[in-house]
Amino acid sequence: MDLLFHALADATRRDIVRRTLDERFSISSLARGYPMSFAAVQKHVAVLERAGLVTKQRRGREHLVAGNPAALRAAHDALDRLELIWRERIARMDDLLATHPTRERASTCQS
């Protein structure tokens, strides 16, 4: 998950993933869409590939890049689990606050 979220932390890489989910692109055609060198786009693709967010398939002299929806689903599922944990913690805090008098109410009662 660390590699996945690191890869998604960059806007260019998120855009590459978004674009490659719809269709396959060669790295050179991807590079034409960004104000950076071919080598820079190639490095972004390598980060995405290590994270499992894209795959590369050789076709002749070109490498075609395709998005991996399963990796995005895994990230989505991980975030859903974290959200559930935090919602449960907040619910427990709400329960505690509802069952215990606050200090302000306690000090008002003593006056």
d(CA 45, CA 66): 10
d(CA 20, CA 27): 11
Residues 54, 83 within the same domain? no
Averaged in consecutive runs of 10 residues, what is the pLDDT profile of the chain (111 residues)? Answer: 92 97 95 96 97 94 94 92 94 89 58 54
d(CA 107, CA 103): 6
Domain assignment of residue 86, given as a range: 71-110
Residues 62, 34 within the same domain? yes
pTM of the predicted model over 0.85: no
Residue 110: predicted pLDDT:
58
Residues 57, 81 within the same domain? no
* Residue 40 CB neighbours (<10 A): 13
Domain count for the chain, please give it: 2
Residues 88, 104 within the same domain? yes
What letter represents residue 92's amino acid? Answer: R
Residues 59, 10 within the same domain? yes
d(CA 25, CA 16): 9
